[in-house]
Structure 1
Amino acid sequence: MIEEVAIAPLVNVLVSPPYAQERPTAYAVRLATEYAAIGSDAHKKEFGQYFTPGEIGTYLAHLSTFTGSEARLLDPGFGTGVLACALVEHLVAANDELATLYLDAYDVDAGVAPYAQAVLDYLQQWLNEHHITLHGQFLREDFILAHSELWQFPLAAAAPRYDLVISNPPYFKLNAADPRNALARNRQLDQPNIYSLFVVLATLLTKPGGELVFIIPRSFCSGFYYERFRAFLYDHLRLDYFHLFHARDKAFAKDAVLQENIVFKATRHRQAPQPNYAIIVASSTGAHDLSHPEKLDCWLDEIVDLGSREKVLFLPTTAAEQALISNFKTWRHRLHDFGVEVSTGPVVAFRTTAHLSETASPEHVPLLWIDHVRRGQINWPNNRGRQQHVALNAGRKLGLLPNRNYVLLRRFSAKDDKHRLIAAPYFAADWQQHQSVGLENKLNYLYSKTGELTDVQTAGLSALLNSNVYDAFFRIFNGNTQVSATEARALPMPPLATIEEIGRQVLGQGQDATDAIVDKVLVHA
């Protein structure tokens, strides 16, 4: 049985009326500001609620190319209606034939309901003055659960009804037991985050040839957990337009959202997916320079390898990044081709505090944390003030590793780090007084599955991961500060002989020469 999401009762509030001659979008933005001011951070987190700034709403709306006298619109995360109002204003300005609009506005937040209804009422009044009829309804329901019947039938039985979808959906993780994922699992479309499930359902409800415009986190572009979602996008949508924000904190500055966001506009396939088509990738620093974005013309087969399992979405914003993707495509090797595996450090510190120590002893071995790994070197011990040793006698329980050659790779980078990929070579000879080593859970490590990495392989792999060229490539598809083991495994690699040559030169010239060595060797590879 599906568990219903609890909805708080409506709150009696005095909603500010519109100003004289105020546009609906401006009114919606003003009410969003008022509602956000009285809401707690806990409330915003619970609902994954980040109201869209007016300039971003206007930008998203202008991506629509719809024409016609009648349109059915969907905003599945309505809030105070900033996006829906911006879209309606755009349609009115761009289409003299427009006569009738239908708008379904979903939002589960009871507190926002009076604000949403006030905006819908004013939007209807404004459209009447333009001789356009609006049939709008505010649906205080969970968008996913409200369509439970759709998930129960084969995909072909879905009844698309919308010409246009525009949305800034909520963002929060979904676990496997969530009732929304329980529904989506009937079609093998369960998702790791609510935003991707919103996109899936909205797509199923869009008519062939209909348009969808979303602003969502960029996290779906890569990673194991979003493989199913990416495959769904390519199968059901023509991806017409992307917009990236270079500054991760600029799109939703008022809400201090640090996650990288991305705008995309897509068209529902009329028939089978096209094997290749043109795509525009635009970019700006944030919302303030949206009126003059940089644009790059790409092709689908340039930015997605549809023949791969991962189907990672690469989004270059410059010709140099476009060329970089092309160069990396010539490398068909992956780490597993060299017998190299990537795993996550097994020591979870908060679960093993009894076995950790601040002081060295014969009964303890080094415990390496994320901040011990610097670009090209391990700085241990340091003055971090936490336990940097782990009990040797708990080795099997904690997953201590034998003292062999490894490449250590940070799983996370700080927002002010110059590099997303930060790696260091771990040479067994430098730690020969210890039979084991502990690696904390915020580190990944590369190792040989069949024996041991040689010194030149260890140095070469570390140098590649630390190089500017690999960091630039990684940023094209990874929009957050995390580096998963799955993403590391999927990185294209040059031939092993090239990696070893890089390692030999780095060992001879030192880590400071890494970028010059990598650039020189790769040019001649």
Structure 2
Amino acid sequence: MASVMERAALTRIDAIRMTSDERRNAFAQHLTPPETARLAVSMFSELSADQLFVRCLDLGAGTGMLSVALYDRYDGHIELLDAVEADPVLATICDAELATIGVPHELFQEDALVGTPDKLYDRIILNPPYKKMAASDIRQSILPCRSANLYSAFMAVGLSRLAAGGELVAIVPRSWMNGDYFRSFREYALGNFSLDAIHVYGSRSEVFSDTKVLQETMLVHFSKRKQIERIVVSQSVDKDGEIVRTSYHPQELIDPKELVVRIAPEDANGLSETIASLGLCPSTGKVVDFRNRERIFEERPEGDDIFPMIYAGNFHNGELEHPLRIGKPQWYQAKTKDLKALRQLIKPGAYVAVKRFSAKEERRRVVAYPLVLTGDVALENHVNFIHAGIPRNVVPLRSVELARGLSMWLNTTYLDTWFRGVSGSTQVNAGDIKAMPCPSLEKLEEVGLIWRADMGQEEIDRICKTLVQN
């Protein structure tokens, strides 16, 4: 006879086959594979000697895979399991699956953000939808904290339903761990609950491969109690891979000032400054191309009001090349009376450009270039740039040497390792750049004197090693 998990796995496969990609996208569904479900529920504590049964909640229950895994994990010692699922098709499947197995449950066909029962639970598990949540969404007002994404909103709702000593495990992207977008969530979660454990996967495509989800996925375990003294960090290449576990003191992983959560302890090697503390300001390129179609051109038109349009693809072989045939418009028009267009231009001077988007599989997550301008340019939104002003008043860096030295530093293996330990996102945002450890401006200018566009990784690392105190 098939086990309850084997049965649940077949139900999941059938649901995937009968559901179109369009419907799954509409509900942001990525149904949990059995291997991930088993690992997720294994992160929960054993029942205590005086605890015969647990009260459970599954938010965004899908076909019931995580509910079944919970039932299997506690060998049926579940007093009641509440499952919340918005999709009426999956809700029906989940209800039937749990009833057939014999799980004592109640199914709520509801939006979890507004329809989750107002009860307290001992164990809460969730694999929530991943989709941006607008600041104007009316549901924001009833959440425990502001949320930039549905997944962190689901987590916040789950945390708010934990009984004293209760535990929550979520299967989510890593992006909540850093950046300004999720700061409100981190303030709520880290300020009121204990971060107990995290598990990260080495492959973005592996965990939900059969539903075509590409995400840097992690499992995170919180509990409603004072922060515990050791946080367990585990890693595996994929959902079936060998698991390596390490434990750390909370202060090694949680930065109380920047409120950033790291995968591994920070090794600053004596660096006490950051990009922000040195008075440098990262900003995002001002031109969103699809909103400026009437201003951008493939070929240079006639006139004096035409300026270079710079994309990430214009940085080639270590430096800026323009114009360049990369399938993107290379020219931007800012007419004298078009004040909006004029405000989007960046003035001549020295800056550092940093690509906003990278993938975990890329050789480097942080990719930087010196951006030395002799005239006004338009910088596309997928490129960050570092300057010496404030967000609303861009001021060039004090020297070309500083731009070159800073770009070298940001391209080091040291900085890349630091960023991979901090960031759970494929994006390198301005908020991430502010927190990056950095040598003094004087030291950066010194190495900037020997910058070359064709420098290889080993040479960059060897030269910039002198910037780090041993």
Specify the alignment match of 1:326 in structure 2.
Answer: 267
Partner Cα separation in structure 2 for residue 474 and residue 165 of structure 1: 31
Specify the alignment match of 2:130 in structure 1.
Answer: 171
SS of corresponding position for 1:327: coil
- Equivalenced residue count is 455
Partner Cα separation in structure 2 for residue 266 and residue 294 of structure 1: 20
Aligned equivalent of 2:112, options 112, 121, 143 = 143
Taking structure 2 as the reference length, the TM-score comes to 0.91
Q: Does 1:42 align with 2:58?
A: no
- Note if contact 2:323-2:330 (Cα within 8 Å) is conserved in structure 1: yes
Aligned equivalent of 2:385, options 428, 445, 459 = 445
Partner Cα separation in structure 2 for residue 253 and residue 181 of structure 1: 31
Partner Cα separation in structure 1 for residue 116 and residue 38 of structure 2: 29
Specify the alignment match of 1:518 in structure 2.
Answer: 464
Q: Does 1:347 align with 2:347?
A: no
Structure 2 unmatched runs, 5+: 390-394
- Note if contact 1:374-1:423 (Cα within 8 Å) is conserved in structure 2: no
Partner Cα separation in structure 1 for residue 78 and residue 425 of structure 2: 42
The 1:355–1:193 alpha-carbon spacing in structure 2 relative to 1, beyond 3 Å, is closer
Question: Counterpart amino acid of 2:327?
Answer: G
Structure 2 counterparts to residues 4-153 of structure 1, below 5 A: 21-67=1-47, 68-92=51-75, 101-124=79-102, 134-147=103-116
Percent identity reads 27
The 1:451–1:413 alpha-carbon spacing in structure 2 relative to 1, beyond 3 Å, is closer
Question: Counterpart amino acid of 2:455?
Answer: Q
Partner Cα separation in structure 2 for residue 452 and residue 55 of structure 1: 51
**Shift in Å, 1:505:** 3.2
Specify the alignment match of 1:389 in structure 2.
Answer: 331
Specify the alignment match of 1:5 in structure 2.
Answer: none
SS of corresponding position for 2:233: strand
Specify the alignment match of 2:362 in structure 1.
Answer: 417
Q: Does 1:303 align with 2:248?
A: no
Q: Does 1:245 align with 2:201?
A: yes
Q: Does 1:221 align with 2:201?
A: no
**Shift in Å, 1:22:** 2.1
**Shift in Å, 1:214:** 1.2
More off after superposition, 252-261 vs 498-507: 498-507
- Note if contact 2:196-2:222 (Cα within 8 Å) is conserved in structure 1: yes
- Note if contact 1:406-1:445 (Cα within 8 Å) is conserved in structure 2: yes
SS of corresponding position for 1:427: strand
Partner Cα separation in structure 2 for residue 190 and residue 288 of structure 1: 35
SS of corresponding position for 1:463: helix
**Shift in Å, 1:404:** 0.8
Question: Counterpart amino acid of 1:478?
Answer: S
- Note if contact 1:374-1:424 (Cα within 8 Å) is conserved in structure 2: no
- Note if contact 2:56-2:78 (Cα within 8 Å) is conserved in structure 1: no
Structure with more helix by fraction: 1
SS of corresponding position for 2:246: strand
Q: Does 1:357 align with 2:340?
A: no
Partner Cα separation in structure 1 for residue 169 and residue 327 of structure 2: 48
Specify the alignment match of 2:237 in structure 1.
Answer: 285
Q: Deviations over 1:305-361 (max 9, x none)?
A: 11x1x3111102xxxxx4xx1326x42322233332111111222233333333346
Q: Deviations over 1:146-196 (max 9, x none)?
A: 259x6xxxxxxxxx5211111112221111232322322xx5x12111111
Specify the alignment match of 1:16 in structure 2.
Answer: none
- Note if contact 1:250-1:287 (Cα within 8 Å) is conserved in structure 2: yes
Question: Counterpart amino acid of 2:231?
Answer: I
Aligned equivalent of 1:376, options 305, 313, 318 = 318
Partner Cα separation in structure 2 for residue 405 and residue 138 of structure 1: 60
More off after superposition, 403-412 vs 352-361: 352-361
- Note if contact 2:351-2:396 (Cα within 8 Å) is conserved in structure 1: no
Q: Deviations over 1:111-136 (max 9, x none)?
A: 11231122111221xxxxxxxxx531
**Shift in Å, 1:245:** 0.3
Structure 1 unmatched runs, 5+: 1-20, 93-97, 125-133, 151-159, 317-321
The 1:337–1:218 alpha-carbon spacing in structure 2 relative to 1, beyond 3 Å, is closer
The 1:99–1:369 alpha-carbon spacing in structure 2 relative to 1, beyond 3 Å, is closer
- Note if contact 2:110-2:116 (Cα within 8 Å) is conserved in structure 1: no
Partner Cα separation in structure 1 for residue 5 and residue 209 of structure 2: 19
More off after superposition, 335-344 vs 277-286: 335-344
Partner Cα separation in structure 2 for residue 452 and residue 87 of structure 1: 56
Partner Cα separation in structure 1 for residue 200 and residue 276 of structure 2: 32
Specify the alignment match of 1:313 in structure 2.
Answer: 261
Q: Does 1:202 align with 2:148?
A: no
SS of corresponding position for 1:492: coil
Question: Counterpart amino acid of 2:221?
Answer: K
Partner Cα separation in structure 2 for residue 240 and residue 493 of structure 1: 30
Question: Counterpart amino acid of 2:402?
Answer: Q
**Shift in Å, 1:484:** 0.8
The 1:100–1:338 alpha-carbon spacing in structure 2 relative to 1, beyond 3 Å, is closer
Partner Cα separation in structure 1 for residue 91 and residue 115 of structure 2: 17
- Note if contact 2:439-2:467 (Cα within 8 Å) is conserved in structure 1: no
**Shift in Å, 1:373:** 2.1
**Shift in Å, 1:415:** 6.2
Partner Cα separation in structure 2 for residue 516 and residue 135 of structure 1: 62
The 1:355–1:179 alpha-carbon spacing in structure 2 relative to 1, beyond 3 Å, is closer
- Note if contact 1:176-1:182 (Cα within 8 Å) is conserved in structure 2: no
**Shift in Å, 1:362:** 6.0
SS of corresponding position for 1:35: helix
**Shift in Å, 1:100:** 5.2
- Note if contact 2:71-2:77 (Cα within 8 Å) is conserved in structure 1: no
The 1:439–1:99 alpha-carbon spacing in structure 2 relative to 1, beyond 3 Å, is closer
Structure 2 counterparts to residues 428-467 of structure 1, below 5 A: 428=373, 432=374, 435-449=375-389, 452-467=397-412
- Note if contact 1:221-1:313 (Cα within 8 Å) is conserved in structure 2: yes
